[in-house]
């Protein structure tokens, strides 16, 4: 009788363990497709930079921020990506897995432009770019668009 109870208990223990191993775990996922486009769905926001309006995809989670604009074949004019960080910090960006040059714009917590890197090419990888001061937002747009829009350091951006 003891052997049967022990066997039944062991069976229940193993079955319970398998149940917990198979349960889906809640986690943030970003799916990438081999074509070079992200499978992620981004919220979008219209933002005025200088004298032009841009439609920016919002990158506000670590997974989206890690991918950024990587793998995309190109970026249309007047579009880009807005990286929104929870806290001000020193944020450095690089051109890993990028296929086209971009302008990178860093904003402080008050949304004031503190640095613009113009025409950053994919060939600059693994170099990183960014100010040594605290920032909270970073915008990436097609190369040349920051100059065309007349954007300059000290401008405030309405986010």
In 3D space, the residue among 72, 64, 74 whose CA is nearest the CA of residue 28 turns out to be: 64
Is residue 152 pLDDT above 50, yes or no? yes
Neighbouring C-beta atoms of residue 98, cutoff 10 Å:
22
Residue 13 predicted with pLDDT over 80: no
- For residue 39, the model assigns a pLDDT of 63
Q: What are phi and psi of 137, to 5 degrees?
A: -135, 145
Percent of the chain with pLDDT over 90: 72
**Buried b vs exposed e over 132-155: b needs ≥16 C-beta within 10 Å?**
eeebbbbbbbbbebbebbebeeeb
Q: Range of 56's domain?
A: 1-159
Burial class (CB in 10 A: 0-12, 13-18, 19+), 58: middle
How many CB atoms are closer than 10 A to CB 118? 14
Residue 120 is part of a domain; what is its CATH number? 2.60.120.1140
> Are 133 and 67 a contacting pair, CB within 8 Å?
no
Mean pLDDT of 60-64: 92
Per-residue confidence at 38, pLDDT binned at 50, 70, 90? low
* Overall domain count for the chain: 1
Tens digits of residue pLDDT in 96-148: 999 999 999 999 999 999 999 999 999 999 999 999 999 999 999 999 999 99
Distance in angstroms (rounded) separating the CA atoms of residues 30 and 140: 20
- Predicted TM-score (pTM) of this structure: 0.75
Which run of H or E residues covers position 87? strand 79-89
């Amino acid at each position: 009788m003891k052997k049967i109870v022990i066997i039944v208990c062991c069976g229940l223990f193993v079955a319970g363990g398998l149940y917990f191993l198979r349960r889906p775990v809640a986690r943030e996922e970003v799916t990438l497709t081999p074509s070079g486009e992200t499978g992620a769905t981004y919220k979008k926001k219209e933002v005025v930079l200088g004298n032009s309006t841009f439609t920016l995809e919002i990158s506000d989670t670590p997974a989206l921020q890690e991918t950024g604009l990587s793998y995309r074949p190109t970026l249309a004019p007047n579009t880009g990506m807005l990286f929104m960080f929870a806290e001000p910090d020193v944020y450095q960006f690089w051109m890993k897995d990028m296929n086209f040059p971009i302008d990178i714009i860093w904003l402080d917590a008050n949304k004031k432009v503190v640095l613009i890197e113009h025409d950053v090419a994919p060939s600059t990888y693994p170099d990183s770019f960014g100010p040594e001061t605290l920032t909270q937002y970073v915008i990436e747009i097609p190369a040349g668009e920051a100059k065309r829009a007349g954007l300059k350091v000290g401008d405030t951006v309405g986010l």
